[in-house]
Chains A and B, each alone.
Chain A
Amino acid sequence: MMAQGPVGFVEALGARVNAMITRLGFASRFFWLILKTSGTSFRRIPLTVREIYFAGVLSLIIIVVSGLFVGMVLGLQGYDTLVRYGSAEALGTLVALSLTRELGPVVAALLFASRAGSAITAEIGLMKTTEQLSAMEMMAVDPIARIVGPRFWGGVISMPLLAALFTAVGIFGGYLIGVVLIGLDEGSFWSQMQGSVDLREDVVNGIIKAFVFGVAVTWIAVFEGYDAVPTAEGVSRATTRTVVTSALAILALDFVLTAFMFRGV
């Protein structure tokens, strides 16, 4: 029986923190087991390719459409601001830098978490609920190597590619607005962009961010699925947790990575 009042509150808080740390411990151990058994994912490439298809290829439409709109909005907003200072031709730079450094990796990762992350959690959770994972274990096949590993690596490989695609389509959206619609000079749009976007500083850092987000989102997704309470409600809660935790993790990691990558530059 839990005590009431302030003591009860502290007790409940302590229990919650305790549970969170324990869960983090489980998740870390799970991460280690995935890495340890990753040989299967690379020895049996078709398994991983299948997951790249489900996590990556099936996310293409949402990534392309969102990228296009985000780029077009950036074009409109950027032009509106830049034209006040008489530097509308810098629109290409603004669109490209915003997308490669921030919006590409972050928005693509958020979309990836909602589209692919939730699907991975639900699939693994349902496999657990219907005893498919137990059946596999009883056949002396390790479900972490056979089911979790390929999904993890499929997600990790897909994420940077999706972010790059998001960025590319976004830049095209900015071009559509800036050059085709508003009528900025095409040459200066592209040349300014070319001159100010640095491969190492901007593009590679963006890809590193996307890779880190990919690891975080897919790790959360496979863990939540594997750890789900094996009931309909348990799987639904796990799926929700995947999306919420992933979103928070992406934004927090983005801050940390940005602080390391772009401080004072």
Chain B
Amino acid sequence: MPTDLVFKDPLVELIEVSFSYEDSRPVLSGVSLRIPRGKVVAIMGGSGSGKTTILRLIGGSVRARRGTVRVFGTSLAEIGTDELYRLRRGMGMLFQFGALFTDLSVFDNVAFPMRERTDLPESIIRQLVLMKLHAVGLRGVADLMPQQLSGGMARRVALARGVALDPRLMMYDEPFTGLDPISLAITGKLIRQLNDALGASSIVVTHDVQESLQIVDYIYFISEGRVVAEGTPEEVRDSTHPFVHQFVHAEADGPVPFHVPARDYRQDLQTGR
């Protein structure tokens, strides 16, 4: 673990966390990771590797079966709903496809957390919303409905909504999925800019290697529910770790096999079903 990053007193900490949904195979087994203050950290791994579950654990949507999840210094295992909601006020989350409220306009979507969580007068809310939308370059679409936006724009509006209350921790669930190259670059840039402007910490769950390596400070690799490698972007690029190498260089075969385990091919073809 590098020493130049502030890993002491992290904002978020997972210690030996295991998790499984009811009656199914373990999603996470003994995951430990730390999110330092003021940094952007990526959690990378293939689809179904348990990345999103880590965000759900940090957000308190699900509880760890074993181990400790500590957010802002508080262990989530020991708190009730009220305390969890209080912690969530310091968090913002960008969902994979934005999750904008389809019955509210762009303006009202960004204003939603302010109206729900604060007693600010409408005139101040208006100014704040316009500032947030301006920060993501979309002040001009404030009156449109979410259905009228492109996927990239919807993601940016959701980003503005996510940072509406200046969270200490921003979480991004696959922020780059389904975006064209321009929108992808804009989203990446915004994640970095907003993090630095807010003095927040960010967790980016993604499998987009190239974009992430440009914007993040530290990377955890997750495979089959475990942290298999970690390091700074430079370390990751030069890594000889077989999984990291396969992932970063997008190789079809490696520690993650091309073929899902199955019966013998010849036998399978001959049996007829």
By a CB distance below 8 angstroms, the chain A residues around B113 are: 139, 141
Residue A237 interfacial (CB < 8 Å): no
Q: A130-B102, A132-B102, A146-B116 are in contact. Are A138 and B91 (CB under 8 A)?
A: yes
Q: How far is the CB of B270 from chain A (nearest CB, A)?
A: 25
Q: A130-B102, A131-B99, A134-B61 are in contact. Are A140 and B93 (CB under 8 A)?
A: no
Q: How far is the CB of B164 from chain A (nearest CB, A)?
A: 8
Residue A199 interfacial (CB < 8 Å): no
Q: Which of A48-74 contact B (CB under 8 A)?
A: none
Q: Is the interface of B mostly helix, strand, loop or mixed?
A: mixed
By a CB distance below 8 angstroms, the chain A residues around B96 are: 131
State whether B95 touches A140 (Cβ < 8 A).
no
> 1/0 per position for B92-109, CB-CB distance to A under 8 A?
110111011110000000
Residue A135 interfacial (CB < 8 Å): yes
Q: How far is the CB of B120 from chain A (nearest CB, A)?
A: 15
Q: Which residue of B lies closest to A142 (CB)?
A: B85
Q: Is the interface of A mostly helix, strand, loop or mixed?
A: helix
When chains A and B are docked, how far (Å) is the Cα of A152 from the Cα of B100? 22
Residue B112 interfacial (CB < 8 Å): yes
Task: Name which of B92, B97, B101, B117 has the most chain A CB atoms within 10 A of its CB.
Answer: B101
When chains A and B are docked, how far (Å) is the Cα of A134 from the Cα of B69? 19
By a CB distance below 8 angstroms, the chain B residues around A141 are: 112-113, 116-117
Partner of A134, one of B89, B95, B117: B95
Partner of B95, one of A126, A127, A131, A142: A131
Q: A138-B59, A138-B91, A139-B88 are in contact. Are A132 and B101 (CB under 8 A)?
A: yes
State whether B88 touches A135 (Cβ < 8 A).
no
Q: How far is the CB of B95 from chain A (nearest CB, A)?
A: 5
Residue A137 interfacial (CB < 8 Å): yes
Q: Which of A205-262 contact B (CB under 8 A)?
A: none
By a CB distance below 8 angstroms, the chain B residues around A136 are: 101
Chain A interface size, as a band, is 10 to 19
Residue B86 interfacial (CB < 8 Å): yes
State whether A140 touches B101 (Cβ < 8 A).
no
State whether B99 touches A130 (Cβ < 8 A).
yes
When chains A and B are docked, how far (Å) is the Cα of A127 from the Cα of B100? 9
By a CB distance below 8 angstroms, the chain B residues around A142 are: 85
> 1/0 per position for B67-95, CB-CB distance to A under 8 A?
00000000000000000011011011101
By a CB distance below 8 angstroms, the chain A residues around B86 are: 140
When chains A and B are docked, how far (Å) is the Cα of A126 from the Cα of B100? 12
Q: How far is the CB of A229 from chain B (nearest CB, A)?
A: 14
Q: A140-B117, A141-B116, A146-B116 are in contact. Are A135 and B85 (CB under 8 A)?
A: no
Task: Name which of B92, B113, B116, B158 has the most chain A CB atoms within 10 A of its CB.
Answer: B116
Q: A131-B95, A131-B97 are in contact. Are A140 and B88 (CB under 8 A)?
A: yes
By a CB distance below 8 angstroms, the chain B residues around A132 are: 99-102
State whether A139 touches B61 (Cβ < 8 A).
no
When chains A and B are docked, how far (Å) is the Cα of A134 from the Cα of B101? 11
By a CB distance below 8 angstroms, the chain A residues around B158 are: 135
By a CB distance below 8 angstroms, the chain B residues around A131 are: 95-97, 99
Q: Which of B138-170 contact A (CB under 8 A)?
A: 158
What are some 7 contacts across the A-B interface (CB < 8 A)?
A127-B101, A135-B158, A136-B101, A138-B59, A139-B113, A141-B117, A142-B85
Known contacts A130-B102, A137-B61, then 17 further A-B pairs from the complex at CB < 8 Å, ordered by chain A residue: A127-B102, A130-B97, A131-B95, A134-B61, A134-B95, A134-B99, A135-B93, A135-B99, A135-B101, A136-B101, A137-B88, A138-B88, A139-B116, A139-B117, A140-B85, A140-B89, A146-B116
Binding site for A on B (CB under 8 A): 59, 61, 85-86, 88-89, 91-93, 95-97, 99-102, 112-113, 116-117, 158
Binding site for B on A (CB under 8 A): 126-127, 130-132, 134-142, 146
